[in-house]
A = this chain, B = another copy of it.
Amino acid sequence: MPASGEDNLIARYFRPLAKDPGSLGLFDDAAVMAGTADDLVVTTDAIIEGTHFLATDPPDTIARKALRVNLSDLAAKGSVPAGFLLTLALRAADDAWLQAFAGALGEDARMFGCPLLGGDTVSTPGPIMISVTAFGRVGKGKMVRRFGAQPGDRVTVTGTIGDAVLGLDVLRGGRAAAVLKRDRHATDLLVARYRVPQPRLALADAVRDCATAAMDVSDGLAGDLAKLCAVSRVSAVVDLANVPLSDAARRVLGAGATSIDALIAGGDDYEILCAMPDKSWPRFAQAGANAGVPVTCIGVVAAGEGPLVFRDAAGHPVTLARTSYSHF
């Protein structure tokens, strides 16, 4: 590579994405965001080859996942995307990889109204790492926090749970793959759920208006709900039969190739988990219907700081083997 390889890489692949004036065309050391009366929501999530995505994942899905896991946070906080920064650590500047990566990133940035503002590109001898910092705008004091769930609130979740962990199992040739092997449609759906999260930005306004507390489910529904409850100093009772599952997930579960424990402890769902009072539920359900996104009430917030209670279809408490994913 020539001495100016890094600049060439930026010019070729990322400058076309930097349409927002605040990006200064990526010609500067910093981006500038105009001051507004709204609050700025700031979130950052990194994905690493071998941990958050597979070395064999296509570059376009890696790009989408890197951005979308952050957009998912913005949605859960009730905010509207305002832009993002990209830090890319690569072993080499592979043109085919970069072209597919940047192309898909640009498509998602346009689709979700979240322009590239800046970033950093560095070389690493290790796994590819993509760190995104995303910005959202929300009315002053209106960001929905994890803190705030009240006893009696409904525990609600968007979309379906457990598909991504099954998608990973399919990619690894695990038991889910064995159950579904003749059904390409079902395996494709699960793999897509692992590789390309669907940030629920269409529900961000409804979350902002309805939820007393919210977060996105990234490390497993059970563990993430436990975190939300711990910060809110409450507990919750969850009816496992109400946890929304896709048809594909139901088939794998029905065949005994996974357990409800594994589905609600698996990561990478990127759905919104939130608590809200009964009176807000009709508005939230309507927003889900309008957006074409299932929204489901899976339990109720309980007073006290005890552990979560998970109940089976008969209403009996069950004990889970594990509740979430942890890096360390």
Contacts and interface: CB of A to CB of B under 8 A. Distances in A.
Interface in A280-328: 322-324, 326-328
B51 A124 contact: yes
Contacts of A145: 24, 28
A32 B38 contact: no
A314 to B, nearest CB: 28
B32 A143 contact: yes
A1 interface: yes
Contact of A39 (B7, B35, B44): B35
Contacts of A328: 1, 5-6, 8-9, 90, 92-93, 121, 123
A121 to B, nearest CB: 7
Contact of A44 (B133, B136, B327): B133
A93 B44 CA distance: 20
Interface in A214-229: 215-216, 223, 227
Interface residues of A, number: 79
Interface stretch (A70-78, A161-169, A237-245, A254-262): A70-78
A54 interface: no
Contacts of A327: 5-6, 121-123
Contact of A50 (B28, B52, B125, B136): B125
A140 interface: yes
Contact of A42 (B33, B126, B127, B227): B33
Interface in A118-132: 118-127, 129, 131
Contacts of A125: 50, 126-127
Contacts of A39: 32-35
A134 to B, nearest CB: 9
A37 interface: yes
A145 B22 CA distance: 11
A4 interface: yes
A123 B43 contact: no
B146 A6 contact: no
A198 interface: no
A90 B140 CA distance: 36
A48 interface: yes
Given A89-B46, A119-B44, A126-B125, A73 B29 contact: yes
A30 interface: yes
A4 B325 CA distance: 8
A233 to B, nearest CB: 11
5 closest A-B pairs by beta carbon, nearest first, are A126-B126, A5-B328, A30-B43, A123-B327, A33-B40
20 contacts: A4-B326, A6-B327, A28-B146, A28-B147, A28-B215, A29-B43, A29-B76, A29-B215, A34-B39, A34-B140, A35-B40, A40-B40, A45-B120, A46-B87, A48-B89, A89-B129, A92-B328, A120-B131, A121-B327, A125-B127
